[in-house]
C-alpha cells in the first residue's frame, strides 16, 4: 500500500544554528508509480560546524550519563525478572 507524501514542512538546521525550512527543489512525484524502487530521492547536504572543545567535553559527559542510565535500567529489569 502506497503512503501519500507528507505535507509537513521539514526543518534542516544550517551552519548558523538557526532552523530553516527545507526547500524541495525536486518536483513531487504524483505519477502514482507502483514501484518504489524506481523513486527518485533528492538529498540536500548541509554544512555542519565542528564542535568546540567545551562542546565535545559536554557531549562526552552526556553520552556517559545516557550509558549509565541504560545500564541501571537493564539492571533494574533483571532484578524485577528474578524476584518472585
β-strands 11-13, 19-21 pairing: antiparallel
Residue boundaries of the structural domains of the chain: 11-24+38-82
3-state secondary structure of 13: strand
pLDDT of residue 84: 78
> In order along the chain (84 residues), what is the average pLDDT of each group of 10 residues?
56 54 56 73 90 96 98 96 89
pLDDT of residue 36: 75
Cell of 67: 550509558
Amino acid at each position: 500500500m502506497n503512503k501519500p507524501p507528507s505535507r509537513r514542512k521539514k526543518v534542516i538546521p544550517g551552519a548558523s544554528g538557526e532552523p530553516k525550512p527545507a526547500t524541495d527543489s525536486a518536483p513531487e512525484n504524483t505519477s502514482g508509480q507502483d514501484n518504489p524502487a524506481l523513486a527518485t530521492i533528492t538529498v540536500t547536504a548541509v554544512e555542519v560546524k565542528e564542535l568546540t572543545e567545551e562542546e565535545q567535553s559536554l557531549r562526552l559527559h552526556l553520552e556517559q550519563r545516557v550509558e549509565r542510565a541504560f545500564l541501571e535500567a537493564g539492571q533494574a529489569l533483571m532484578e524485577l525478572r528474578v524476584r518472585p
